[in-house]
Amino acid sequence: PKWRGIFLEVLEPYILKDMLGSLPPEIMQALVEHYSGKGWLQRVEQCILHMDISSLDFNQVVRLCREHGLYGALIYLFNQGLNDFRTPLEELLSVIQNATRKDATSTCYRMLVYLKYCFQGLAFPPGHGTIPRAQLHAVRKELLQFMLEDSKMLTSEVFKGFSSSSGKCPNICYLLWMDTEATLEVVKCAFAQENFEPTSSTLDASVSKDEEDTDIESPDSQNILLQSVVDAIIHIVGLENEAIHSVVVGTAESEESELWPSVSDFGHIVEFVSFFVSYKRANASQRVLKHILKYLTSSTTSYDDKKMPPQKEVLQLFNVVPQTDWNSDYVLNLCLDAHFHQACGMIYTARNQNLAALDSYMKDTMEPYHAFIFINKKLLQLASDEALSFRSTVISRFAELVNLSRECAFVLVIDHFHDEIQQILAELHSDHCSLFLFLKTAIEVHLSGKLDFSELTARNYEIVESLYSGDLEDYLQRLSNLPKLFDRNPISMTDKLVELYLELLCQYEPRSVLKFLETFDSYRLERCLLLCLDYGVTDAAAFLQERVGDVASALELVLAGLDEKVNQFIASVENAFSRTSSKSISEIEQPDIVLNMSEARPVLDVLRSSIGLCQRNSQRLDPEESQLLWFQLVDNFSDPLKKLYGSKVVNGKGCWSVGGETTNGHPTGKGFSQKMVNSAYQRCLNTLRRVFSQFVGEIIEAMAGYIPLPAIMAKLLSDNGSQEFGDFKLVIHRMLSMYLYEKRILETAKSVIEDDSFYTLSLLKRGVCHGFAPQTFVCCVCNCSLSKEGAISAVRVFSCGHATHLHCESEQSKSSNKDFKDGCPVCLSMSDTQARNKSPILAENGLPKYPVVEHEVPYGVHHNHETDHVERSRGLHQMSRFEILNNLQKGQKSFHIETVPPLKLSPPAIYHEKIQKRVSLVGESSRHSVRSGKPQKIWHMKEPKSKKSGNWLPPKSSIFSSDKNQVQ
């Protein structure tokens, strides 16, 4: 038997990999018995699902599956082997009928899963393909009819309970009793909307038309089957009666008796029936509708995001059910008690009670746009006296409409009440909040020309489209024409309206006043300034003071209340240090962490606002006025720093206790000795000093570009002459660091420029020190040999390579009437000819453009200095740059532009080679020293290592000493 079991277990992987598709009946029986004996029922079931049914002994395998409860394999055998979908359902239902509720739970859910797969057209178990389309409708119909058939198990407790209450017990009652919600969801899958739509034209060509017709079920037949299911469920629950049925499963005296349906089960049944009735898929009587409406309007109704809200379901029912099928007075009372304002508005509208409908829609604050849709619709429909009455009612309640949606209310005014704008504003004066919202919307439209209607376009439920599709689409269409509407009916923003809005803005949104004044440009400065001052909006008042030119007053407004903000900031830092243990103090000791506290934000805002104010106005003010502004700012932030260095307590109130308790009430004890308290206090004081030194340093950094550094240093020394140097050591160290860094940059730039100029001029000087050699030994004037016999005249050689006799050159100059020009006569004549031939032509970019002559030879191209002189006796024909600069400086009249060669801004290649050699000699050490000499930040403030280091200033001669030594 041992080897027998091993042999059977070895077969499993081959079966699961579809390598062994069939087994003899004896081995199959032995495999099932062996695996069931060890409790491996799931494994043997998987083996059966992977085997070829045609090769199995069908009756034997079915018997084995029934005996051992392998219902998944049993379903597979009947579906795939016999194409039978009903028999497995009967098998599973018989198990449920003969078992207790606890034992039948797993079988019930297996049955529901099987039904769901069949209704969706999928084969069971999962992963075995789909049901052929030709028989899908027949399978659904067969299974649904089986569920509606009366149960044949007359002895079961479920049958007895349902039969006694409703008179009959269909097979579906067992599933409803086990899990009502899951059962109804599975039944919904059989009637899903996509299952009844005609198939697309992309079917396989092999499928015939007759086959398609048998595949698709007509909507009428589907609705008949669905109506049968709905009627059966209505009958089981007893919705046709005044009181619903209560089914007792088991004897009333027994402890295991259960009552069905529960409150939640009844809710699921009502929602199931209401769903199909609201979509016109099923019909319901007035009594059933009464039960549905009573349930939906009850306070016990609950829903989640996946379900439709109860009010939407009620509205959907109103939309599809005729008014004759429900009592409007009864339903109206239900909706009023449930606060279904949209449903009440629909009922009032059907009764033609427009004012009551408007009141109901305006109570719906969750979806306020329905009120505006209703108003827009009625204003277009009503006429004569009824329209005037409705318009007056809307105007009288306009404040409430603005509170509902200020954007929709503004559009309503522009579209329908443009002529009554003054009356509406007068009506809004009684409610300042509504007036503020309306004017705010008007300002937004005036500035941007658009409004935000995202709430209207973001519709979360499909029911909204079906209920309000026509009205909502019409309203959205009118909103899409807002730009044209604003152009046709503009609202002029007068100074009075702007000032009224500014006053309300100071009351309701004081933080938005400055932004409004910066973006809106049409207002009276004096009146707006008075409003800002009256309501204490200092930042906006400072902005207006700056606009009128009173910068000093603007700075005073910005700095107003700084002392109080500084005290709050210091107190918060002190409390943070006093509540923190000595081990954690280092975590909050850094200035960056302290500045992240919420109490530091007001101080930083004042600092940055005042710096920006001074920087914006320093250029247009006199130097004295600019200095006064900056020094006033420095004084306001220097005073707390002086107090921190001069006082023995942090905020002057003595918050650090020296007794047995700290300020927050915690005992010092052994863990909080006096030494530890003093250490924490000192570290807190040092942190605050660094923070305020950083504040003063930021001010000095900002003012350095506008105020001379000697003036800043004189200010600090004159105002703090009696103080110790250590009080402002960090600030002065910050200034000196900036000065030294800028000085180093200047000296480095100067050194680079001088080095470049020296090598460039030395190379030019070396080039012009060579002699000139003629190109040919023929005079370019008389074309005679320069060395002819008997020639007594001297010879002149030009830098261009031409040579002439002196007497030929003098004779040529006498024969010409032009002024004498120093230079080669050949090159000068060529340049004059080219200048005469050039005529300016307007180019595409609007600049004069000169045509190029074909035979023109630019100076220095044909007889290049760097090529010809190497080949011909080291002669130079270009004028040196030094000579050019000297001639320009002296302003000599004999110096002509035509003789000037084109200047090259870059030094010769020899210079670059020399520089590269120098860099290679210096090496990595030099580059490292240069980088290390430059601080990482201009204003990086460092703590001196010792007290002596604060008084040390490096001499000017030693700034670059380290670099030079390394180069050497």
Dihedral over Cα of 492, 494, 496, 497: its sign: positive
Reported confidence tier of residue 504, pLDDT bands at 50, 70, 90: very high
Taking phi over 0 as left and psi of -120 to 50 as alpha, with beta for the rest, 121 belongs to left
User: How far is 604 from 691, CA to CA, in rounded Å?
Assistant: 11
Q: Which two tokens stand for residue 128?
A: 């075995």
The DSSP result for 923-939, as a single string, is HHHHHHHHHHHS-SSTT
Nearest to 703 by CA among 690, 691, 716: 716
**Residues linked to residue 796 through DSSP beta bridges, in sequence order:** 804
The DSSP result for 327-349, as a single string, is -HHHHHHHHHHHT-HHHHHHHHH
525-534 and 538-548 helices cross at what angle (nearest 10)?
Answer: 150
Taking residues 413-439, report their average pLDDT: 92
pTM of the predicted model, to two decimals?
Answer: 0.62
Q: Tell me the three state secondary structure of residue 420.
A: coil
Q: Which two tokens stand for residue 550?
A: 């009173």
Label the pairing between strands 795-797 and 258-260.
unpaired
Annotated domain spans of the chain? 356-481
Nearest to 271 by CA among 243, 214, 312, 329: 312
Q: What is the pLDDT of residue 117?
A: 92
Residue with tokens 């006498």: 814
State the average pLDDT for the chain: 76
48 close to 105: Cβ distance less than 8 angstroms: no
Residue 957, pLDDT above cutoff 60: no
Q: Which two tokens stand for residue 886?
A: 């000297």
421 close to 413: Cβ distance less than 8 angstroms: yes
920 close to 695: Cβ distance less than 8 angstroms: no
Nearest to 914 by CA among 711, 763, 747, 688: 763
Residue 845, pLDDT above cutoff 90: no
Q: What is the pLDDT of residue 865?
A: 38
433 close to 508: Cβ distance less than 8 angstroms: yes
Residue 928, pLDDT above cutoff 50: no
Q: Tell me the three state secondary structure of residue 502.
A: helix
Residue 760, pLDDT above cutoff 60: yes
Alpha carbon 122 to chain centroid, angstroms = 43
User: How far is 713 from 427, CA to CA, in rounded Å?
Assistant: 63
Taking residues 209-226, report their average pLDDT: 61
Q: What is the pLDDT of residue 533?
A: 92
Cα torsion 631, 637, 643, 645 to 10°: value is: -90
Q: Which two tokens stand for residue 306?
A: 């996946």
Q: Which two tokens stand for residue 922?
A: 């210096």
Label the pairing between strands 841-842 and 258-260.
unpaired
Q: What is the pLDDT of residue 659?
A: 39
User: How far is 223 from 466, CA to CA, in rounded Å?
Assistant: 21
List CB contacts of 953: < 8 A, sequence separation 6 or more: 736
Q: What is the pLDDT of residue 790?
A: 58
Instruction: Specify the range with the lowest mean pLDDT, choosing from 70-79, 219-228, 702-711, 819-828.
Output: 819-828
Length of the chain: 968
Taking residues 373-392, report their average pLDDT: 91
Taking phi over 0 as left and psi of -120 to 50 as alpha, with beta for the rest, 333 belongs to alpha
Taking residues 623-630, report their average pLDDT: 89
